[in-house]
Amino acid sequence: MAPIPTEATDLNSDGVRSTNGDMDDAALLHAMQGGDESSVAVLYDRYGGAAYGLAHRITNDATLAEDVVQDAFVSVWKQCARFDGSRGQAKSWLMTIVHHKAVDTVRRRAGRPERPLPEGFDEPVAVLGRPDELTERSMDAAAVRNAVRGVPEDQRTTIMMAYFEGLTHIEIAERMKVPLGTVKSRLRIGLEKMRAELRQKVLE
Amino acid sequence: MNCEQAEEMLGAYALDALTGDEMTAMRAHLASCPEHAAKATELRAVAASLHAVAEPMAAPAGLRDRITAAVAATSQTEASRPAAAIARHQPLDIGVRRETRPSSRLHWRPAMTFGAIAATLAIAVAGMLAWNISLRNESGGAAISVVRPLQQDSGATAGYIVLFDDGEATVVSDAMPRLDASQSYQLWSLSDTGEATSLGLIQYVDGGSASADVSFDAARTQRIAITIEPAGGSEQPTTQPLYIADLS
């Protein structure tokens, strides 16, 4: 019996397995920068589920989530020249784009102005460099979820409102009926706790 | 914004939860405070990792095909060049190696790393610069030689000019007000005798920043100036420079 493929395989017209299914993400992005369209499909096979899960969690709407994911992958294709593999992970970049697009979508739907972004839209956060302590390993999903669980509930809820509902700190303060200063502190202290936890994970 | 206020807002900044005015003030602070710039980058990395909290879901059948079709219909080349500079006298084309440039006789400083520069620039500006540098690296590479502030009359910094050791330069700013369609920002090379040579126009790119890639005769350029000209530019400056970078 043929082995069940565990990752993306692309067959060309001769039925030969193409090589980009074996590439790591950085090589895949490099191929994309060279104009290889099939690399986008391979990236989708790897992270389409994660991207859709994130978009759905934010928009809570299957059609909107689908549009967000499609836009995000097309953005990756269009903007891939901006990606610098030596400075970050392709998946992080993709998910940042999905997040921005999904948040913009829900804010538009709610009639709220789009949030200002510190980098130009679609700008990869990864390209700006990351602290050495926060390596790819420390950022795996289980570690992140664990770090989130370690944050006190009021801080965690505040962070989730900012990230998954796309609310500004002023909107969060209104929604939670707490002073703005409290929201600022919860966001900062909560993220700092997560950072400490993720760092600890690296040192283990 | 002072350091204490910025410190308090770092979490909201990392989560893109600031208002427009606050974001502008924060960016200005981060451009001048390496300590907070480093901390902001770190917290942004933590915030960006939150996507892992959402469980992956099976995407609808057909989405892969839609994406593949959309990609096939989307020109990567054009879209990848949002900051392509416009120049009437010297056609410029980011991403494509240009013809031989005049050799530089400026006394360059030792090459700086991108990281050292990024810590001092506003993040939008640093992002554009990173993008630009990645293109340069692809096309053979050129080290950064020197970074000079783009100064207004008041002495305030409106952006930066980054000189590469191959004689090219990138001008980046996120503090130049957008002009209406009848006007353009135009870049000039000024010699020590005041002779002005057009280096082309500055273009806005996504995110509200302005940028241009120029190559110029470094040996004859003492300062780079930016004036406001009628749309499309002028043969010679017709207004006083708004921004000047001194290269000497």
Instruction: Look at residue B154 in the predicted model and tell me its pLDDT.
Output: 74
Select the more confidently predicted residue: B163 or A174: A174
User: Is the per-residue pLDDT at B189 higher than 50?
Assistant: yes
Structure tokens at A175: 């929604």
pLDDT of A34 higher than 60: yes
Q: Which of A20-24, A121-125, A155-159, A200-204 has the lowest mean pLDDT?
A: A121-125
| Cα A201 → chain centroid | 21
For residue range A86-141, list pLDDT tens digits in order: 656 788 889 988 999 999 899 988 888 777 655 433 343 433 334 444 555 556 78
Question: How remote is the C-alpha of B3 from its chain's centroid?
Answer: 25
Closest CA to B85 of B205, B220, B236, B246: B205
Tell me the mean pLDDT in the region A60-89: 85
Which chain A residues are within 8 Å of B27, Cβ to Cβ? 118
Q: What length does chain B have?
A: 248
Which of B20, B49, B67 has its CB closest to that of A116? Answer: B20
Shortest distance, CA A200 to any CA of chain B (angstroms): 13
Instruction: Give the pLDDT confidence score for residue B165 in this predicted structure.
Output: 63
CA B77 to chain A, closest CA, distance in angstroms equals 8
10 Å CB burial of residue B188 (0-12, 13-18, 19+) is buried
Mutate to test the interface with A, among B66, B76, B174, B206 (most CBs of A within 10 A): B76
**Distance of alpha carbon B116 from alpha carbon B110, whole angstroms:** 12
Give the one of A58, A103, A168 whose C-beta lies nearest to B18's C-beta: A168
**Average pLDDT of A149-153?**
95
Chain B, residues 25-84, CB within 8 A of chain A, namely 26-27, 38, 41-60, 63-64, 66-68, 70-72, 74, 76-77, 79-81
Query: To which residue do tokens 């050799």 refer?
Result: B103
Amino acid A183: pLDDT: 97
Q: Compute CA distances A203 → A133, A138, A173, B147, whole Å.
A: 9, 9, 36, 37
What is the mean pLDDT of the segment spanning B129-155? Answer: 59
The more confident residue out of A152 and B130 is A152
Asked if A118 and B47 touch (Cβ cutoff 8 Å), the reply is no
Position A176 confidence tier, pLDDT thresholds 50, 70, 90: very high
Query: What residues in B contact A194, CB-CB < 8 Å?
Result: 46, 49
State chain B's maximal CA–CA distance in angstroms. Answer: 68
In this predicted model, what pLDDT tens digit does every residue of B74-84 receive, in sequence order?
A: 876 543 333 32
More confident: A157 or B162: A157
Contact with chain A for residue B5, Cβ under 8 A: no
A 48-77 residues with CB < 8 A to B: 48-54, 56-58, 62, 66, 69-70, 73-74, 77
- Kindly state the percentage of chain A with pLDDT values over 70: 73
Q: Do B123 and A73 touch (CB under 8 A)?
A: no
Listed range (A117-126, A195-204, B24-33, B52-61) with the worst mean pLDDT: A117-126
pLDDT tens for each residue of B193-216: 878 888 888 876 555 567 777 777
Average pLDDT, chain B: 70
Determine whether the interchain pair A191/B43 forms a contact, defined as Cβ–Cβ distance below 8 Å. yes
Of residues A124, A120, A131, A202, the one with CA closest to residue B115? A131
A37 part of contact set with chain B, CB < 8 Å: yes
d(CA A187, CA A192): 9
pLDDT value for B56: 93
Give the residue-averaged pLDDT of B86-115. Answer: 30
For the residues A58-86, what does the mean pLDDT come to?
87
Chain B residues inside the 8 Å CB shell of A144: 49-50, 52-53
Q: pLDDT tens-digit profile of B146-184? A: 667 787 777 777 777 777 666 677 777 777 777 777 788
Backbone angles phi and psi of A6, in degrees to 5: -100, -10
